[in-house]
Structure 1
Amino acid sequence: MENKKVVLAYSGGLDTSYCVKYLTEEKGLEVHSVLVNTGGFTQEELVGVEARAYELGVKSHTTIEETANYYDKVVKYLIFGNILKNSTYPLSVSAERVSQALAIAKYAKTLDAAYIAHGSTGAGNDQVRFDMIFQTFLPQAEIITPIRDMKLSREEEIEYLKSKGVEMDFAKAAYSVNKGLWGTSVGGKETLTSNGFLPEEAFPTQVSKDQSESLELGFEKGELKSVNDKSFETPHEAIQYLESLAGPFGIGRDIHVGDTIIGIKGRVGFEAASAMLTIKAHQALEKHVLTKWQIYWKDQVAAFYGNWLHEGQFMDPVMRDMEAMMSNTQQKVTGKVFITLLPYRFQVNGIESDHDLMSAKFGHYGEMNNAWTGEDVKGFSKIFGNQNAIYHQVNSEL
């Protein structure tokens, strides 16, 4: 018999709902939907998504829990590198796509599926991320991408689903929302042009806190292990708890503008309170406990790592080499960071660490020194500037 099995990367949103109906009713395929949870769904939401998938007509639906693995294999290194794409975006969605694609490819192998499908458009990055992983680890399966191949607008998808009698919150579907452990991306009409910010109602987390709160984050070897007086067995649980505290302040909202993998400019909104707080707190701690050249070289490696991950090249062996380097820098990144949360912003107040290199026994910056004399500095300055002095004296430039 002809193999008509197609594994569909499914989230329950507009695009993947369209894919279910199209693949079953127009293509006559046997759809096996799979949702890979990377920290963006509650148990109640997962139950609802599964029920919805069967209502749309899938043959089977599977949920793969990937949150812990996603943190261990990806998010941990985004923290170690303090990675913000274009100094703005914490790779909220681009980072998780590789984890999702790998899990889906592995699942598709177990079903011996002839096809594998995703709901990416033809104008974004996700199509490349999914395609590269599927081509690498499931080369025998044909990739089907209805939204991309037919160049469908969200309005056309909505009209098609309505014509099939599908009922869903189409007003909410006007915005594309992707939620995960490391933040939530939000795309809509405002992000399709170069000017305009997302309205309040477009963000999944509404602002409900207006009084300042004190926050204490505890790190052990670069990983977030405690929030205020609450300790966690796993860092990803600490990240989720921090999001519940800081998200209602509206912290971590912004719009990222960047170059897509396919060469065009793009804009996407996001909210990522926990990611922004963790990165900035971690970076503040590192400034105190790492040496100048540790920070410098880690910044160079992290910039490349973040960009290569963003472009879907997570499986490049060089990524493992850079992870090893960043991990090695974290051996002394242990301590507490003190923060004040306010509506739409936060401030890092300081740190405490046994490894703090800003030790008073060596001196107070700008005031006094305890570990050297004035004569020491005179001699150091003469030697340190010697080559410049020779150059300008030989060439008489002044």
Structure 2
Amino acid sequence: MSKHGSVNKAVLAYSGGLDTSIILRWLIEEHGCEVIAFAADLGQAEELDGIPEKARQTGASKCYIEDLREEFVRDFVFPMFRANAIYEGRYFLGTSIARPLISKKQMEIAAAEGADAVSHGATGKGNDQVRFELGYYHFDPEIKIIAPWREWDLNSRESLIAYAKKHGIPIPVNKKRPWSSDRNLLHISFEGGILEDPWAEAPEEMYLLSVSPEKAPDKPEYVEIEFRHGDPVAINGEVLSPAQLLAKLNELGGKHGIGRADIMENRFIGMKSRGVYETPGGTILEEAHRGIEQITMDREVLNLRDSMIPRYATTVYNGFWFAPEREAMQALIDETQKCVNGMARVKLYKGHCRVVGRKSETDSLFDPEIATFEADEVYNQADAEGFIRLNSLRLRVRSAMKKKQHQPI
């Protein structure tokens, strides 16, 4: 009997790859339980092909494939982008933001099927084990969680392959791609293998969503993105659903080599790791969102929201999407976004994107009569003298004090 006690039925977060296929069989063999496989469609495209057949052949009693693309972008990606959340200034949190939705749907299936346990394929060294399990406990504090990588003795690739051969599990031939990847509509990540040398440049053949900037078109392309309450709703005048819109931006960004990042990041558990990411649509979206915020948000409100970015991003990265502090921050952030309405025009060119125009018919705080360098009747430039003298008071007092003490200023 396992340390979890008797387990009758488990729902496994299943990708169809070697690791989760082995886990599926291992759960049956070691825990003697029925296993239901669950795969979340978050935009992995062809990676989902053949999953039900693989799951059944490995011993699953059922296999769910849930199309969560719209929910993923609408209820997870877009709220995070209202916060402009980027972890450690570089990472768009593509993997991090997917895990709470996967755990949510996995727990819904467990409840519907009467399962008493859930399982995942995250290792004991990574962030995903935390993200999945914090989600599980949020929905059911009493759920049994089986994390094979923290239990079994299959601690090398050779032992995994031996186990797969023993139980007739197909072993993918992957010599040409010696790294692991995780893909959804927001990004694709790469880690492990040759990337464990932080000095080695990621090979060009690794990238799947974008051309190299050197091979991108020599002519720039302009894209206009319309926002409503901080969320994008249309591209070049075409209204799109959240998932359709992000997919379109991925296509545009990938065409121009936009969104590549090579990062040494700090994992929640304390170690550094290297990740290479492609986030073409997200990179454009963040730039456009910043552009429309510049013209519609009050200075101090913008400053307040921006001060929350490191805390919000770390909260998501560490797996606390369902925690009260994230919900509290989200409420404030969403309040700041009510006025973020309008259009941003972004220029795409050889790996770069930048806002080159922004407008808002209803919420612009830009007044050309005040901002003009020409003569105006609104702003009295002589008023600036008193403003400057008042703001310099503490500096003048400090300077006078140092002169009395004969200290260098």
Question: How far apart in 1 are the matches of 2:377 and 2:266?
Answer: 50
2:128 maps to 1:102: no
Residues 339 and 350, structure 1, Cα contact 8 Å, conserved in 2: yes
Closer, same or farther in 2 for the Cα pair 1:390/1:266, shift >3 Å? same
Question: How far apart in 2 are the matches of 1:154 and 1:336?
Answer: 51
Residues 83 and 279, structure 1, Cα contact 8 Å, conserved in 2: no
Question: How far apart in 2 are the matches of 1:339 and 1:78?
Answer: 21
Equivalent position of 2:3 in the other structure: none
Residues 251-260 or 354-363, more deviating: 354-363
Equivalent position of 1:309 in the other structure: 316
Residues 287-296 or 161-170, more deviating: 161-170
Question: How far apart in 1 are the matches of 2:326 and 2:37?
Answer: 30
Question: How far apart in 2 are the matches of 1:314 and 1:362?
Answer: 42
Equivalent position of 1:202 in the other structure: 206
Question: How far apart in 2 are the matches of 1:213 and 1:199?
Answer: 27
1:29-108 matched pairs, under 5 angstroms: 29-37=33-41, 39-42=42-45, 46-108=48-110
1:333 pairs, out of 340, 343, 360, with: 340
Please give the TM-score of this superposition, normalised by the length of structure 2: 0.87
Q: What is the one-letter code of the residue matched to 2:230?
A: G
Equivalent position of 2:172 in the other structure: 169
- Any stretches of 5+ residues in structure 2 without a counterpart? 1-5
Residues 285 and 337, structure 1, Cα contact 8 Å, conserved in 2: yes
1:82-231 matched pairs, under 5 angstroms: 82-149=84-151, 150=153, 152-154=155-157, 156-171=159-174, 174-205=178-209, 207=211, 209-211=216-218, 212-231=220-239
Q: What's the % identity of the aligned pairs?
A: 27
Q: Deviations over 1:282-333 (max 9, x none)?
A: 0122122212211111012232111111111112212221111111111221
Question: How far apart in 2 are the matches of 1:360 and 1:189?
Answer: 55
Residues 339-348 or 275-284, more deviating: 339-348
1:16 pairs, out of 14, 20, 23, with: 20
How far 1:277 moved relative to its partner? 0.8
Q: What is the one-letter code of the residue matched to 1:111?
A: E
- Any stretches of 5+ residues in structure 1 without a counterpart? none
Residues 21 and 169, structure 2, Cα contact 8 Å, conserved in 1: no
Residues 251-260 or 157-166, more deviating: 157-166
SS of residue paired to 2:97:
helix
Closer, same or farther in 2 for the Cα pair 1:127/1:295, shift >3 Å? same
Closer, same or farther in 2 for the Cα pair 1:49/1:200, shift >3 Å? farther
Measured on the aligned residues, the alpha-carbon RMSD in Å equals: 2.5
Closer, same or farther in 2 for the Cα pair 1:332/1:14, shift >3 Å? same
Closer, same or farther in 2 for the Cα pair 1:120/1:392, shift >3 Å? same
Q: Count the aligned residue pairs.
A: 393
Question: How far apart in 1 are the matches of 2:397 and 2:308?
Answer: 35
How far 1:173 moved relative to its partner? 6.7
Question: How far apart in 2 are the matches of 1:337 and 1:198?
Answer: 33
Q: What is the one-letter code of the residue matched to 1:230?
A: E
Closer, same or farther in 2 for the Cα pair 1:77/1:15, shift >3 Å? same
How far 1:26 moved relative to its partner? 4.8
Question: How far apart in 2 are the matches of 1:308 and 1:40?
Answer: 24
Residues 112-121 or 275-284, more deviating: 112-121
How far 1:50 moved relative to its partner? 1.9
Question: How far apart in 2 are the matches of 1:226 and 1:92?
Answer: 22
SS of residue paired to 1:340:
strand
SS of residue paired to 1:92:
coil
Residues 180 and 193, structure 2, Cα contact 8 Å, conserved in 1: no
Residues 209 and 280, structure 2, Cα contact 8 Å, conserved in 1: no
Closer, same or farther in 2 for the Cα pair 1:26/1:292, shift >3 Å? same
2:295 maps to 1:291: no
Question: How far apart in 1 are the matches of 2:295 and 2:34?
Answer: 57
Residues 120 and 147, structure 1, Cα contact 8 Å, conserved in 2: yes
